[in-house]
């Protein structure tokens, strides 16, 4: 029986790269997303990888929807092993201009969503004797670059949630870690940055390049595997040295 993973925000970009890597690792993977266009592209491609790849439209901040997704997934697959809290979003703004509504939206998506998904997933992992949760953070939590305060605060909070969850869930065989992302060359980023801006970002790294979605996926693969069986409560910088722990 294949190990089972769920990737939030997994219909495109980094999330899709993570899902594909876990499929290569032999997992059955469920992708959850609210991006209708990205989900439609998955449907058009129709590649279910021998029945191991599936996707559902659901909001990670809706506990009822996520309870349904997990109950259905475990009911059909018979187990649950790995959660990747990848879904995230931001809204432009500063401390003086960001609205309360924008704050709530960004913090809910980047922090409340992972809290809800982790709480539900942990119940099923405990029943199965353990598992792994991988949270996707950002160098924004460490003041490496300016940006919307809601996003920085939410990602900093996600690091606290990671450590707290690792302490609570460790006795149940559940490992919880976080990947601190630097600038990743997603389609979304490349469409919004000029060549001059991209060149400046490359100069801010020690590797002289932008990160690729597969750079993130390879670290998720490790943290989801038994090779990381004694690794929990840790932050892993995948930033090309933009942030040095």
**What span, in angstroms and rounded, lies between the C-alpha atoms of 65 and 239?**
33
- Residue 135's closest CA among 178, 174, 194? 178
With a CB cutoff of 8 Å and minimum separation 6, the contacts of 214 are 17, 21
Catalytic residue among 151, 175, 179, 184: 151
**What span, in angstroms and rounded, lies between the C-alpha atoms of 181 and 151?**
13
Between the alpha carbon of residue 110 and those of residues 18, 116, 155, 196, the distances in Å are 18, 11, 7, 29
Is-catalytic flag, 124?
no
**Interaxial angle between packed helices 149-169 and 113-128, expressed in degrees from 0 to 180 and rounded to the nearest 10:** 20
Could you give the residue numbers annotated as active site? Answer: 151
């Amino acid at each position: 029986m294949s190990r089972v993973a769920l990737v939030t925000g997994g219909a495109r970009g980094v999330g899709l790269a993570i899902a594909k890597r876990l499929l290569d690792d032999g997992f059955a993977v469920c992708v959850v997303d609210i991006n209708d266009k990205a989900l439609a592209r998955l449907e058009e491609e129709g590649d279910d990888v021998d029945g191991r790849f599936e996707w559902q439209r659901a909001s990670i901040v809706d506990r009822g929807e996520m309870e349904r997704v997990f109950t259905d997934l475990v009911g059909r697959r018979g187990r649950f092993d790995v959660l990747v809290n990848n879904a995230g979003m931001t809204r432009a703004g500063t401390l003086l201009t960001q609205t309360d509504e924008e704050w709530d939206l960004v913090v809910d998506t980047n922090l409340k969503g992972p809290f809800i998904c982790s709480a539900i997933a942990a119940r099923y992992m405990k029943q199965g004797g353990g598992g792994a949760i991988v949270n996707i953070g950002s160098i924004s939590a460490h003041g490496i670059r300016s940006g919307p305060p809601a996003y920085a605060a939410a990602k900093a909070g996600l690091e606290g949630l990671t450590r707290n969850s690792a302490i609570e869930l460790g006795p149940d065989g559940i490992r919880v870690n976080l990947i601190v992302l630097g600038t990743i060359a997603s389609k979304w980023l490349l469409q919004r940055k000029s060549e001059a801006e991209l060149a400046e970002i490359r100069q801010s790294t020690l590797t002289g390049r932008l990160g690729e979605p597969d750079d993130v996926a390879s670290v998720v693969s490790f943290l989801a595997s038994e090779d990381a069986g004694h690794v929990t409560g840790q932050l892993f910088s995948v930033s090309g040295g933009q942030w040095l722990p």
